[in-house]
Amino acid sequence: MPFRPPASARVSSIGEPPVASVMKRFRELRASGRDVISMAQATPWFGPPPSAIAALEARLGDPEIHRYGPDEGLESSRTALAVDLLSRRGIEVDPFTELHLTCGASQAFLGALAAVADPGDRVVLVEPWYFDHEYAARLLSLDVTAVRARETSGGWRLPLDEALRKVADASAIVLVSPGNPTGSVIPDSEIEDISNACDRWGCSLLIDETYERFDFTGTAGHPWARGKPPHVLTFGSFSKSLGISGWRLGYLFGDRKILAECLKVQDASVICPPTAPQVMMEAAIGDAGWAGAAAAGIRTRMEACRDASAGARGLEWRGVDGGFFTLAATPGMSSAEVCDALLERYGIAAIPGSAFGPAGESHVRLSFGCLSDLDLEKACERLASVDLWGGQRASGSRP
């Protein structure tokens, strides 16, 4: 028999990416002629601002845009981001030593986590967690410890005391604010308390701020706005804020010594971020008017879907502080079966809550941030008509 190398047990232990499987079925139904809409993936309905497109068009004939760039990103693009962080958020970052551009936030996270934790170390994730964070931890052979968020009708809240206890014997804790999948914003005072505890115990704090442009509370802060604590690493993405998810551009900032280690991971995995989206970001990052309109559009969609879901049976909206999602409750029902019913019966693609850890079971993640005007109208009509109980509440049964 021909030799077949065995699959890695480490990689095999990780489940199939949930968005990929849902979107595969979504595309099959759409190809068959079904009128289905996606509330599954965090892809904004809008594309990049006109200034970004114009900048890219002007450079397409330049051979340099199609070649490798510096591992850490173009100097001019890093400088533009550093100016934005300072002027808009009061965060001072040296673009030459404390800031990297990356191939999206997920790649930034993988590099940061690899730089601060060794196999067998403990990493703390807030559950329900973003599944790619758990995947990255498993790929790096880390021990994942959960801090389970408290669920209320008004949203999901971080149990601060538990988080403070668990950093004592961890190499890293990961905070996502606004949250994916919960849409919760962690108050600045709580992030500061966790940062101080991390400093005391020698634990790294990794902050995922992918959705920071879509904070509906206006209260979020950042430890680096008050100094430069070396244990804090922050990463984010331009996929949502600039509507360029297909171009894969993110960022990572933190202490220069740790970033030097992160750059080794970047070079070994992707070498450098793509040049084209850096050109687009550099041209558009200061367009406050465009960014404000995009954020207002996200909030409008959230409010419309929230109000429409009030008429649903068996689908309970959970409060949202920011971002693209709600993690809605479906009490007593399998999240996978509910998602099957939403797609097959109502034409709505959603992600099972079980993908976000055990605390996500009997929930579904609904993304309102990806809805065009037409799809928003359809989504609201369909959400209002959802009846998962079918006239009765049958625990654990298929809707």
Average pLDDT value over all residues in the chain: 95
Answer whether the bond into residue 128 is a cis peptide, omega within 30°: yes
Provide φ and ψ at 96, rounded to 5°.
Answer: -90, -25
Tokens of residue 173, six digits: 């804790």
Task: Return the beta strands (E) in 239-355 as ranges.
Answer: 250-253, 325-329, 348-349, 351-352
Closest CA to 98 of 259, 210, 303, 249: 259
Per-residue pLDDT for 2 more than 70?
no
Q: Is the pLDDT of residue 397 over 50?
A: no
Burial class (CB in 10 A: 0-12, 13-18, 19+), 276: middle
Paired with 351 in beta bridges are 365
Which pTM was predicted?
A: 0.94
Q: Which strand (E) or helix (H) includes residue 117?
A: none
Q: How confident is the model at residue 398 (pLDDT cuts 50, 70, 90)?
A: very low
CA separation for the pair 192, 195 (Å, rounded): 5
* 1 has pLDDT over 80: no
Q: Is cis: bond before 159, omega within 30 of 0?
A: no
Higher pLDDT, 372 or 16: 372
Q: What is the pLDDT of residues 292-349, one digit of tens each?
A: 999 999 999 999 999 999 999 999 999 999 999 999 999 999 999 999 999 999 999 9
Residues paired with 232 in a beta bridge: 205
> Which band of pLDDT confidence, cut at 50, 70 and 90, is reported for residue 220?
confident
Percent of the chain topping pLDDT 70: 97
Q: Give the model's pLDDT for residue 3.
A: 66
Instruction: Identify the structural domains of the chain with CATH numbers, from first to last.
Output: 9-45+288-385 (3.90.1150.10), 50-284 (3.40.640.10)
Residue written as token pair 């981001």: 81
Nearest to residue 274, comparing CAs of 254, 253, 244, 241? 244
Q: Give me the residues paired with residue 100 across strands.
A: 252
What is the rounded distance in angstroms from the CA atom of residue 193 to the CA atom of residue 37?
Answer: 41
Residues linked to residue 145 through DSSP beta bridges, in sequence order: 124
Considering only CA atoms, which of 252, 203, 250 is closest in space to residue 229?
A: 203
Q: Quick one: how many helices (H) and strands (E) in the chain?
A: 13, 14
Distance from C-alpha of 219 to C-alpha of 129, rounded to nearest angstrom = 22
Distance, CA of 127 to CA of 354 (rounded, Å):
11
Output the furthest CA–CA distance in the chain (Å, rounded).
64
Q: What tokens were used for 238? A: 């331009």
How many residues would you count in the chain?
399
The phi, psi pair for 143, rounded to 5°, reads: -90, 115
Q: Which of 225, 241, 386, 224 is nearest to 324 (CA)?
A: 241
